Amino acid sequence: MRDHNYYVYIATNKHCTTLYIGMTNDLGRRIIEHKNGERAGFTQRYQLNRLVWFEYFRDVNAAIAREKKLKGWLRSKKIALIEKENPRWFDLSADWEQEPKIDGCPSVEEIVRDSSLRSE
């Protein structure tokens, strides 16, 4: 059986005023699409192209359930989730020039600590 990767993520705009929660099986591709304005609709209209939080799953049903749960949260709870791992709201994908290969299950904390993956 082949392993699968799924990600639930939160994207925002440059002023961190609007939040978008999404799910994908290819986080790198999806964020590049957001950055290039290729995702028509809400994310394109509000320029939601900064990755500020994500979570990794191997099970698609768990990822879907988590996405639905987060979408039901109040904004304040979503902000607390982001700030627990990424208190300065760094764009975790700021230095991605192409789709990154994400192996294993990196935590946001590991990415935030790695200055090569963020802008300051």
User: Would you tell me how many other CB atoms lie within 10 Å of the CB of residue 52?
Assistant: 24
> For residues 53 and 82, is the Cβ–Cβ distance under 8 A?
yes
pLDDT value at residue 56: 95
pLDDT over 70 (residue 85): yes
> For residues 67 and 45, is the Cβ–Cβ distance under 8 A?
no
Residues 85 and 88: their CA atoms lie apart, in Å, by 9
Residues 49 and 64: their CA atoms lie apart, in Å, by 21
pLDDT value at residue 97: 61
- pLDDT tens for 15-50 read 999 999 999 999 999 999 998 888 788 988 999 999
Global pTM value = 0.78
> For residues 91 and 52, is the Cβ–Cβ distance under 8 A?
yes
